[in-house]
Chains A and B, each alone.
Chain A
Amino acid sequence: MKINLRNKRTRTDFLTYAGVIIAFVVMTILQKEGAISRSLSGQLVPICAYVTMAISLNLTVGILGELSLGHAGFMSVGAFSGIIAAMSLQSAIPSDGVRLAVAMVLGAFFAAIAGFLVGTPVLRLRGDYLAIVTLAFGEIIKELVNCLLVGYDENGLHMMFNLNGQKTVADLGLTENGIEIIKGAQGATSTTTISTFTAGFILVMVTLIVVLNLIRSRSGRAIMALRDNRIAAESVGINITKYKLMAFVTSAALAGASGALYGLNMASLQATKFNFNTSILVLVFVVLGGLGNIWGSIIAATLLTVLPEMLRSFAEFRMLVYAIVLILVMLATNNPTFKLFFERIRTRFFKKPAKEVRGK
C-alpha cells in the first residue's frame, strides 16, 4: 500500500475549505429559518473569532513549534485598535461592512506590529523561556489597555494613559460631539456592534487560505524545517530568525483581525477579557485539535466554544465537567495504554493498520 502524502494533503485542504463553506451555508439557512436557539445564534461570531485564533495559534505552536501563552494579547491589540478605528471612522465610512473590513485590517496591522516588536528580540529564546515571555507580553498588554483612555471628536483622536488611577475620560477634553471610545478599566462600553456571521466566515476563509498556502510554499517548508530540526535547517541555509518571525507575525496579524471581529461584536468589552485564561483556552483548542492539524483546530474551537453552552443544564457543574472532559481527553489521546486500546478498536472495526514503510 503506497501512501501518497501529497495528494492526501491536497485532499485534506480541499475538505477543510469545503467543510467551512458547508457549515456556513447550513448555519445561515438554519438561522434564517429560525431553527437555532438564540444563544447559539449569538455564538456564531465568537465561534468564527475563536476558530481564527486557533488556526493562527496553530501556526505558532504546531507549525513553528514554539509555545505561546500570550496569544490573547494580540487579539486584544486587534480588538481595541479595531474598535477605535470603527468608532472613529463612523462618519468617514458610512457602510458597516466596509468599516468592519477596515477595522479588521487595521487590527491585523497593529497586532502584526506588536508581534514584530515582541518577536524580534524574543524569538532567540527557546522553549519554556519563550513561553513565559509571551505570557508576560499578554499580561503587559492587558494592563496597558486597562489604563488607556481614548476618545474621538472633530479634532481627531485623543489618547491618554491613566498611570496613577486618577484620570478619567473627562480629562481627554473632548468636544460636545466627541465620543468616548475606551474608558480605562471599564473598557469600551458603547461600541456600535457591526460584526456579522458573514464577516466571520470570510475571515476564517482568509485565515485558511493564508495559513494553508503558506504551509505548502517554500516559506512554510522552511518554518516546518526549523521546527523539526533547527541545526539541520541552518546547515541547508535557512535563515532561522527570518522564518520564525514570519510565522510569529503572521500568526499575530490573524489574531488581531480575529480580535477586531470579536471586539466589534460586543457592545461592551474590557481588557481583562483577553487575559491569560483566554490564551490558554485557545491553546487548548490547538492541542486538542492536534498540533499542526488545521482541520482539528477548527473542530476543537467550535466544539469547545459551544460546549459550555450545551452544558448549561449542568448549571454550576459545567466548568467542572469541562475540566474533567479536558483531562480525560488528554489522558485518552496521550497515554500509551489508552492509545493502544483505541488503535485496536480502530483497526478491528474500521480499516487495515497503516503498514510500515519498507524502503529498498
Chain B
Amino acid sequence: MSKLVSVQREARIPERDADKSPILECIGLGIDFGGLTAVDDFNLTIGRTEIAGLIGPNGAGKTTVFNLLTKVYQPTRGTVLLGGIDTHGMNTVQVNQAGIARTFQNIRLFSSLTVEENVKIGLHNQLPYSMWSGILRAPSYWKQEKKAHEKAMELLSIFDMQDLADHRAGSLPYGAQRRLEIVRALATKPGILLLDEPAAGMNPSETAELMDNIRKIRDMFHIAIMLIEHDMSLVMGICEGICVLNYGKIIAKGTPEEIQSNPTVIEAYLGKKKEA
C-alpha cells in the first residue's frame, strides 16, 4: 500500500465562491462495512458554483462517497454539511429535498415510463397537488400538470431532447439515457449535482459535448457539480478542484495541474517505480 501523505491544502474553493458559504462540507466522513473500512477520514469542501472531480483507481471508494452523501448508506462517522445544514439522520429523500441530486454509475432510469414522465418525476416535489385532486382532475391538477410539462420541456431542451419526450426511456440509446438521468436530477432543483461516471461508454466527440454541457449546466443553474470519472481528459478539462481517493482515503487534493504532477497520485495509478 502506498504511503499516505498529508492533505496538501485545506478547504480551497474557487475565488468567485469565496464570499459565499460552501455548498458541501465533509468532515471526517467514514463508513465501515462489517470490519472493513470502505471510506475513512474524508474531508472535502465544495464551493457554490465549483466543478469538482473525484478520481481514483477502481475500488477506491468513490461511489461509496456518493452513496454516503446521498444517504444510500448512513455514514459510520463524520459530518456532511449541505449548504451549512447538518444532514445527520436524514434519509435519501430528505437530502434530495435539501439540495443534493445524483446520477448513477449503472444507469437507473424509470425505463418503462416516457422521457417526459422521467423528468416530471424529478419535478414531483414541486407539484403541490394532492392524490384526490389528481383522481378528480381538479383545476389544480390541470394547472400543475401544464406547468410540469412546460418545465420538463425546458429542461429537456438543455440537451436538445424535446423530440424524444414521448419515447420510452428504456428504448433510448445509451448516451441519451445518461443525459436523461442528468436532466431528471436537475429537475429536483439541486444545489449540488453528483455525476457518477457521466462519460462512461461515450466516444470522444460525445465526451467533448458532455464537457460543454456540464459547464453550461453550471452556468445556467448556478450550482456546484461533483463528478466521478475515469476519463482524464474530461476531468482535467473541466474540474477546478480534484480530489484523489485510494483505498478509501484521500491521497491528494488540488488543481488539475497539481494533481497531474503529484508523485503519490502517479504511484497510485501506475504503481511504484522499481528501485534498482
A, B bound: yes
Footprint of B on A, CB under 8 Å? 2-6, 209-210, 213-214, 216-222, 224-225, 228-229, 231-240, 246, 292, 356-360
Query: Would A236 and B101 count as touching, CB distance under 8 A?
Result: yes
Complex Cα spacing A212 to B113, Å: 15
10 shortest interchain CB distances as A-B pairs: A217-B134, A232-B108, A237-B96, A228-B110, A234-B92, A359-B176, A359-B173, A357-B171, A219-B131, A225-B121
Q: Contacts A213-B136, A237-B125, A246-B131: A5 and B114 contacting too (C-beta < 8 A)?
A: yes
Contact status of A6 and B114, CB under 8 A, knowing A221-B120, A356-B171, A357-B172: yes
Contacting residues, chain A, for B121 (C-beta < 8 A): 221-222, 225, 233, 236, 238
Binds A, one of B10-18, B180-188, B222-230, B241-249: B180-188
B32 interfacial by beta-carbon distance below 8 Å: no
Instruction: Please state if B70 and A228 are interface contacts (CB–CB under 8 Å).
Output: no
Q: Are B113 and A225 touching (Cβ within 8 A)?
A: yes
User: Does B137 sit within 8 A of A, measured CB to CB?
Assistant: yes
**Is B168 part of the contact surface with A, judged by Cβ < 8 Å?**
yes
Given A218-B145, A240-B93, A358-B173, 11 further pairs, Cβ under 8 A? A3-B166, A5-B167, A6-B116, A216-B134, A217-B131, A221-B113, A231-B104, A235-B92, A237-B96, A237-B188, A360-B163
CA distance A360 to B131 in the complex (A): 36
- The CA-CA distance from A240 to B113 in the complex, in Å, is 18
Chain B residue numbers with a CB within 8 Å of A236 are 96, 101, 121-122, 124, 184-185, 187-188
Within 8 A of A (CB), among B141-197: 141, 144-145, 148, 160-161, 163-164, 166-168, 171-173, 175-176, 184-185, 187-188
- Whether B135 contacts A238 by the Cβ 8 Å rule is no
Which of B72, B135, B184 gathers the greatest number of chain A CB atoms within 10 Å? B135
- How far apart are the CA atoms of A210 and B173 in the complex, in Å? 35
Interchain CA distance A38-B229 in the complex, whole Å? 71
A156 CB → nearest B CB, Å: 33
The residues of A that contact B114 with a CB separation of less than 8 Å are 5-6
Contact at B112–A217, with CB atoms within 8 Å? no
Given A214-B135, A218-B129, A235-B102, A5–B124 Cβ distance below 8 Å?
A: no
In the complex the two chains form, is B135's CB within 8 Å of A218's CB? no
| B102 contacts A218, C-beta separation under 8 Å | no
**Which chain B residues lie closer than 8 Å to A235 at the CB level?**
70, 72, 92, 96, 101-102, 104, 108, 185
A246 to B135, CA, bound (A): 12
The bracket for how many chain B residues form the interface is 35 or more
Closest A residue, CB atoms, query B116:
A6
| Chain B 29-70 near chain A by CB (<8 Å), digits 1 or 0 | 000000000000000000000000000000000000000001
For the A-B complex, the count of residue pairs with Cβ-Cβ distances under 8 Å equals: 125
Contact A232 B104 (CB under 8 A): yes
Contacting pair A213 B135 (CB below 8 A): yes
Closest residue of chain B to A228 (Cβ to Cβ) is B110
Interchain CB contact under 8 A, A231 and B108: yes
Contact call B135/A217, Cβ cutoff below 8 A: yes
C-alpha spacing A175/B72, complex, angstroms: 62
Bound form: Cα–Cα A233–B129 in Å? 19
Q: How far is the CA of A192 from the CA of B207 in the complex (A)?
A: 73
State the CA gap A238–B91 with chains docked (Å): 11
Known: A214-B135, A236-B96. A228 touches B160 (CB 8 A): no
Judge whether A214 and B131 touch: CB under 8 Å: yes
Tell me the bound Cα distance from A233 to B96 in angstroms: 11
Q: What CA separation (Å) do A236 and B118 show in the bound complex? A: 10
22 pairs of residues in contact across A and B, judged by CB atoms under 8 Å: A5-B114, A5-B166, A5-B167, A213-B136, A213-B137, A218-B124, A221-B124, A228-B110, A228-B112, A231-B72, A232-B104, A232-B110, A233-B110, A234-B93, A235-B108, A236-B184, A237-B93, A292-B112, A358-B173, A359-B175, A359-B176, A360-B176
- By a CB distance below 8 angstroms, the chain B residues around A233 are 110, 121
B-chain residues with CB within 8 Å of residue A210 when the two chains form the complex: 135
Determine the residue in chain A with the shortest Cβ distance to B97.
Answer: A237
Minimum C-beta distance from B198 to chain A (A): 15
Q: How far is the CA of A214 from the CA of B136 in the complex (A)?
A: 9
What is the bound-complex CA distance between A105 and B136, given in angstroms?
17
Docked pose: A225 CA to B187 CA in angstroms: 15
Interface residues of B in 180-239 (CB under 8 A from A): 184-185, 187-188
B26 contacts chain A at the CB level, 8 A cutoff: no
Interchain CB contact (< 8 A) of B168 among A5, A213, A239: A5
Given the interface pairs A3-B167, A232-B109, A357-B167, the reply to whether A238 lies near B72 with Cβ below 8 Å is no
Give per-residue flags for B83-110: 1 if the beta carbon is below 8 A from chain A beta carbons, else 0. 0000000011100110001101000111
Determine the chain B residues whose CB is within 8 A of the CB of A292 once the complex forms: 112
Contact yes or no, B125 A360, CB < 8 A: no
CA distance A170 to B217 in the complex (A): 76
Distance between A22 CB and nearest chain B CB, rounded to angstroms: 23
CA distance A238 to B184 in the complex (A): 13
CA distance A214 to B137 in the complex (A): 9
B259 interfacial by beta-carbon distance below 8 Å: no
B100 to A, closest residue via Cβ: A235
B127 on interface, CB distance cutoff 8 Å: yes
Pair B96/A228 contact, Cβ less than 8 Å: no
Q: Cβ of B144: which chain A residues have Cβ within 8 Å of it?
A: 218
